[in-house]
Amino acid sequence: MSSNLVITANGKNIKVWQTPTEITYLCLMTKDGIKSRVTGDDAKRALLCYIAWVSQTLGGFKQTPLTMNDELDYARDTTKKHVESLNKYLEKRLVAYSV
């Protein structure tokens, strides 16, 4: 069963990209194991984990030997804007969970 990450800030959904199930579980990992819902510092860590995944993988963009430079530039620019839009939420009241 697929499980996607959802993050809210002050009760409103933050736009996050679809995550592979293993990334959702990684984001929801705490010192006590994988949780279905986290709050406080654990939710902040979940958002930082998501930001790290997006930044490192360009949101799952697959580069191949045939990838055009403009496609890669677009993926980089889109990812950079997405990450910048998320940073403002780090000081908000966060909740992260899987659906």
Residue-wise pLDDT tens for the chain (99 aa)? Answer: 678 999 999 999 999 999 999 999 999 999 999 999 999 999 999 999 999 999 988 877 777 777 788 888 888 899 999 999 999 999 999 999 998
- β-partners of residue 6 are 97
Number of structural domains found in the chain: 1
Q: Which domain holds residue 35?
A: 5-98
55 φ/ψ angles, rounded to the nearest 5 degrees: -65, -40
pTM here? 0.88
- The pLDDT value recorded for residue 85 is 95
